[in-house]
Structure formats: C-alpha cells, structure tokens
C-alpha cells in the first residue's frame, strides 16, 4: 500500500531527479518520519504550491517545530499574495455591486480547485471587466488563505516572534475583518505584551467584544469573555501590571493535526488498510503515555502521544492524555487542546480513574477538578471520585 500522506507531501515536493518513492512504504510513518524524509530530500526549502507549503507548515506545527512551521507558512502566504492584491483591486472596482456565489461563475472551491486555479479564473474575470465575478472567484480561495496566515501568526508567536505574529494577525484582519481567530489572537497578544498601554487595552477590548459578537458560541468565546473582563479590570486599575499576577493565555496554536488534505484524500487515508500490528503499537503508546503521566514524566508522555496523533486525531483517550500532558508542562497550546479533549468529558474522567489506579491520586483529583470547572454540567458525575 502506498501511504497517501507520504505521497501527497513527498511526491509533490521532491526534486525532479529524486529516486521514485517505493511502491509499498510499509507501516505508516510517523509525522517525525515524514519530516525527516522531507529534510533528507531537500524538499522543505524547494518552491512548492500553496497547498503543499501549507500542509508542511501544519506538519511542523503539530510537531512543535515552530520556526520551521513559520518558514513553510511564509512560503504559502507568499504564493497567496497575487490573489490578495487582485481581490483588493477588484473589490474597489466593484463598488456597491453584489458579489455572486462562486459556484455560479465557475469558481466553486471543490476538491479539484487549487489557489493557483482559482487565481487564474479570477484573473480571467478581471481581464474581461467582470469585477463581481473576479471577487467571487478570489473569495472561493480566501478562507484557506485566512486560515494559513493566521497559523503563520501562531507559529511566529510560538517561535518567539511576537511582532511578526502581530503583523500576521493584522494582515488577516485587513483582508477579512470577521476572522475571529485572528481577532482573538491579536487581542490576546497585545494584552500579553503591552497591557499597560491604554490604547492597546482599548483595542483589545474592542477585539474581544467583536469575537463575542461574531461567534458567541465559538471555540474562543469562553476565553474571550474571561479576557474581556481582565481588560476592563486593567483599564480601571491603570494597567495590567497593577493587577494581581495572573498568567494570560496568549495566542495559541490549534491542536496538532494532520496536514490539510481534501475531503476525498482524507477519506482515502482514513479508509486505507490498517494492520493489527499498527493498531497494537498505537494502543501501547497510549497506555505507556498514561504510565508516564502517573509518574510525572509529562514530556515522555507527550512524545509518545505525538506519534499517534497524526493517525488517530479523533481518539478521545489520546486527546485526554495529550491535553493533560500539555497542561502539566505549561505549553502554550494546552488550553486549546484541553477544550477539544473536554468535548468528551467521559474520556477525560476515565483518564483520572487510570491515574488514580496507577497511584497518582493527587493528579487524578486535580484533573477531575479542572474537568468540573471546564464542564460544569458534568460535575455531578465526578462526585465520589
């Protein structure tokens, strides 16, 4: 079986004279294996299409290699620059005309469409003096561009480049003012780095309020509401440093995930044959991770979980363990992963049972307490534990 993810990332990024990939790559490689293959082939610095560069960025981000993730995302964003320029120019030419749906002008963002193909269609519409159709074609590709440039901001922040991260978030918002992830991230970053500046606090307040207005039940809503109250307290108290020390959740990367693939590709990957040996290996890594957690070896646990995550991202037991490891290590993405894991509170509670059974009674109690605080409706089920 040819491993689809390896072919998608390597087959399209390898130099022309590189030997062909073997017909059977055997057991699915880990994300780290894929990265090593890319680097060995000299492919990470080779010019790549937008989609491939973005996928490699996600691969590095999921492995915690934030500097390399930023480089890959920068390649993708550079590929999107002509589309952004055309979109701005055609919106100005459009004036007050309505924008048609992309699929009505031959620009549906389906599985076969790429940024380059949609840009080509938009350029054809612009040349034909059809600004409404040109904007529609550009719009079909913009959401992916927004997501990638936001991820570039996350990668830069996590790599220690706060000013670069801010520039990325602001570039996204100039293109798409309703992008709540970028708006939340800009506000959190400003608050974290310049929380004594009255103008910054005012901007952060406006951003958090806008996040709550645009997505009142979105994934950032609860955090935005908490930080909004923090901003108001800082404004009233003369600056953030005047308040009691509370660690702010800064701009965060999304939970580690597979590189972005089309739905058809993802389905093919999910349905690819899996061997009992592979399943047993993943189960053993998760069990070993729980043993590490119970013994306080949180980095060891996380290292094991990362080997499984690219292939079983929906595994609730895996998510619970990874969330607790990240939380105990104080990693920037811990809160986001914890929120995702808490969508299945039974799995998180079961991890507490496992920790208790392995002798980590205090760890189990702390985990259950945090779960109850995160999902108040689940508290009754935790009584007596």
State phi, psi for 129 to the nearest 5 degrees. Answer: 60, 45
Per-residue pLDDT tens over the stretch 189-213: 888 888 889 999 999 999 999 999 9
Is the predicted pLDDT of residue 34 greater than 90, yes or no? Answer: no
Per-residue pLDDT tens over the stretch 227-241: 899 899 889 888 887
47 vs 45: CA distance, rounded Å: 6
119's CB contacts (< 8 A; 6+ apart) are 82, 83, 86, 137, 138, 141
Write down the pLDDT at residue 272: 43
Per-residue pLDDT tens over the stretch 106-155: 887 766 778 998 899 999 999 999 999 999 999 988 988 999 999 999 88
189 vs 332: CA distance, rounded Å: 12
Q: Average pLDDT, whole number, for the chain?
A: 80
Is the predicted pLDDT of residue 23 greater than 60, yes or no? Answer: no
| Domain architecture of the chain: domains with CATH | 79-175 (no CATH), 177-238 (no CATH), 277-382 (1.25.40)
Query: Which H/E stretch holds residue 334?
Result: helix 334-341
The pTM score is 0.59
- Nearest partner of 147 among 116, 175, 118, judged by Cα: 175
Cα dist. 244→200, 227, 232, 309 in Å?
19, 14, 14, 37
Per-residue pLDDT tens over the stretch 265-315: 334 334 444 567 777 888 999 999 999 999 999 999 988 888 777 667 778
CB atoms near residue 93 (< 10 Å): 15
């Amino acid at each position: 079986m040819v491993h689809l993810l390896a072919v998608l990332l390597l087959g399209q990024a390898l130099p022309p004279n590189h030997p062909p990939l073997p017909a059977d790559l055997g057991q699915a490689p880990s994300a780290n294996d894929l990265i090593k293959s890319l680097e060995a082939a000299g492919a990470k610095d080779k010019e790549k299409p937008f989609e491939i560069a973005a996928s490699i960025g996600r691969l590095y981000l999921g492995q915690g290699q934030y500097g390399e993730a930023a480089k890959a995302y920068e390649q993708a964003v550079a590929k999107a620059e002509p589309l952004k320029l055309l979109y701005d120019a055609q919106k100005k030419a459009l004036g007050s005309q309505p924008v048609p749906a992309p699929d009505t002008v031959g620009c549906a963002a389906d599985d076969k469409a790429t940024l380059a193909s949609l840009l080509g269609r938009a350029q054809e519409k612009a040349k034909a003096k059809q600004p409404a159709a040109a904007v529609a074609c550009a719009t079909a590709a913009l959401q992916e561009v927004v997501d990638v440039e936001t991820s570039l901001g996350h990668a830069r922040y996590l790599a220690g480049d706060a000013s670069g991260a801010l520039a990325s978030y602001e570039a996204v918002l100039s293109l798409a003012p309703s992008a709540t992830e970028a708006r939340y991230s800009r506000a959190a970053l400003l608050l974290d780095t310049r929380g004594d500046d009255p103008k910054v606090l005012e901007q952060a307040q406006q951003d958090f309020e806008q996040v709550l207005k645009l997505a009142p039940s979105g994934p950032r809503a609860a955090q935005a509401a908490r930080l909004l109250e923090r901003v108001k307290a800082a404004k009233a108290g003369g600056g953030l440093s005047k308040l009691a020390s509370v660690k702010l959740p800064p701009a965060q990367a999304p939970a580690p995930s597979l590189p972005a693939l089309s739905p058809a590709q993802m389905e093919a990957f999910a349905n690819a044959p899996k061997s009992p040996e592979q399943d047993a290996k993943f189960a053993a890594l998760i069990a070993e991770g729980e043993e590490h957690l119970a013994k306080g070896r949180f980095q060891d646990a996380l290292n094991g979980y990362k080997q499984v995550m690219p292939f079983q991202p929906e595994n609730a037991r895996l998510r619970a363990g990874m969330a607790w490891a990240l939380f105990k290590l104080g990693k920037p993405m811990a809160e986001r992963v914890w929120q995702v894991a808490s969508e299945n509170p039974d799995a998180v509670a079961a991890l507490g049972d496992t920790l208790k059974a392995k002798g980590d009674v205090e760890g189990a109690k702390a985990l259950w307490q945090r779960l109850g605080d995160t999902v108040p409706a689940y508290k009754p089920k935790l009584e007596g534990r």
